Structure 1
Amino acid sequence: MNITVIGGTGLIGSQVVRNLTAAGHRATAASLFTGADVISGKGLDEALKGADTVVNLTNSPTFDDASPEFFRTSMGNVLAAGDAAGVRHQIVLSIVGVDQVPALDYYRAKALQEELLRQGPTPYSVVRATQFFEFMDAVLSWTSDDSAVRLPATPIQPIAAADVAAAVTDVAVGAPLQGIRNVAGPDVLTLDELGRITLAARQDARPVVVDDQAGMFAAVSGDVLTGGPDARLAPTHYQDWLAAR
């Protein structure tokens, strides 16, 4: 199978390309670095030529109110190029609970991306993943200083990037879902608990203070960022991942 991975040089994309290649598929990484620009459309026809499937892992450069226009333009260009190339399956990676957090610009933008994919001309799949382990340091940095880290007690079910890449790979080699597959890590923890686990592993003595107004995830209510009953659970536990690093 010939599969083009747009965003194939990034955290998830590079692993998806390796997984597909190891399984005997022809996987082509496409990105700005290879001359494929999803905003101008330049290089997309060449990148998608001969592809059976397109895995779209591109991301907005900002998380603010400019992000919807990024996804509107990029999805229009990728879908049009794919249709012209005869692509039979288009896939995007999205976020668990993305349609339930209207207060966040970026989540609204990702929900728009999903809707554009559903309305497009090609059979499709959406893989929704929970928050990546790899982003925990960034989450801590948003609301920390030298004396403490402030985090809301938001329940999340984080997942390793390698497990996300495996889930995307599995969907890429299968038939279009014409729907959504949710994937999540094996454990539900509150964000403040994750903060304490992370700081302990780093031998960082700062306390974690529960603050339900702190950071981006303060806008999230309930358990919408957990996988839900239909999610496929990945094998890697956060504590094991931390220990291995």
Structure 2
Amino acid sequence: MRVAVIGGTGLIGTRLVGRLVDAGHSVVAASRATGVDSYTGEGLERALAGADALVDVSNSGYVDERGANEFFYASTLNLLTYGAAAGVRHHVALSVVGTDRLARTEGGYFAAKAAQEQLIRRSGRPYTIVHSTQFFEFLATIADSATRGGAVRLADASVQPIAADDVAEVLAATATGAPMLGTIEVAGPERFHLGELVRRHLMRRGDPRRVVDDPLARYFGTELDEDELLPGPDAQIAGTRYEDWLARPAVRVA
């Protein structure tokens, strides 16, 4: 099977490409680093030629609604258009648990992700959307985005994070399976209070920043209710716990 991974040199893409190759599939790792830009369409015809499936794990560099929406709309429309021309039989997209709820109540980045998903659903193309909870690898970025005056100010919310390796495993199985014409959720096995997990993570890294639970804090510009980042009861639960993830060797990303 031939699979094109859009964002194939990033955090998830690198792991996904490795799993697909190990399973004997032909894989194209498509990203700007390899001369493919889904936003402009550059290199897409070549990258998708002969592909049975494409997996979109690309992301916007913008977290505001306008910037993110511009990226996701143009990129997804290009992928759908070039994918149809190439005869791609399965369009897989990675998104975020809670997107639909947060898009309705808060807008912002999540509204852009919701619009991306709507493009895919209404395209008439065979698809599967994978909603994932936050990655363990993303904890430092969460802390950095919430740092104000030397303190990390985090919303009073719960999370059920997942290892990037586990997300890649689910995506590989999804891409090589039949289109579901719907959405699946994946999450890690443990539930944490967001502030407590980030505090614990920073301590393990020797980071001296103080973590403050702040009811007014925003999550990448978005207000959170306590359970808005949690998966539903039918989510697939991965096996890697936080301590297990810490013990794994780091994976280099291009």
TM-score, with structure 1 as normaliser:
0.94
Structure 1 counterpart of 2:231, from 219, 222, 227:
227
Query: In 2, distance between residues paired with 1:149 and 1:71?
Result: 29
Paired residue for 1:43? 43
Query: In 2, distance between residues paired with 1:188 and 1:223?
Result: 11
Query: In 2, distance between residues paired with 1:185 and 1:117?
Result: 26
Paired residue for 2:16? 16
Paired residue for 1:140? 143
CA deviation after TM superposition for structure 1 residue 239, in Å: 2.7
Contact 2:55 2:91 in 1 (8 A): yes
Tell me how many residue pairs correspond in the alignment.
245
Q: Is 1:119 the equivalent of 2:125?
A: no
Q: 5+ unaligned residues in a row in structure 1: which ranges? A: none
The 10-residue stretch of structure 1 (19-28 or 96-105) with the greater mean CA deviation from structure 2: 96-105
Query: In 1, distance between residues paired with 2:181 and 2:228?
Result: 22
- What letter is aligned with 1:174? G
Paired residue for 1:80? 81
Query: In 2, distance between residues paired with 1:113 and 1:147?
Result: 35
Contact 1:201 1:243 in 2 (8 A): no
Query: In 1, distance between residues paired with 2:118 and 2:40?
Result: 21
Query: In 2, distance between residues paired with 1:204 and 1:60?
Result: 27
Q: 5+ unaligned residues in a row in structure 2: which ranges? A: 250-254
RMSD: 1.7
TM-score, with structure 2 as normaliser:
0.91
Query: In 2, distance between residues paired with 1:149 and 1:33?
Result: 33
Contact 1:197 1:239 in 2 (8 A): no
SS state at 1:50 partner: coil
Q: 5 Å matches for 1:177-196?
A: 177-196=180-199
Paired residue for 1:31? 31
Query: In 1, distance between residues paired with 2:79 and 2:27?
Result: 17
Q: Is 1:55 the equivalent of 2:55?
A: yes
Paired residue for 2:6? 6
Query: In 2, distance between residues paired with 1:207 and 1:60?
Result: 29
- What letter is aligned with 2:47? A
CA deviation after TM superposition for structure 1 residue 104, in Å: 4.1
SS state at 2:54 partner: strand
Residues 204 and 192 (structure 1), Cα distance of their counterparts in 2 relative to 1, 3 Å cut:
same
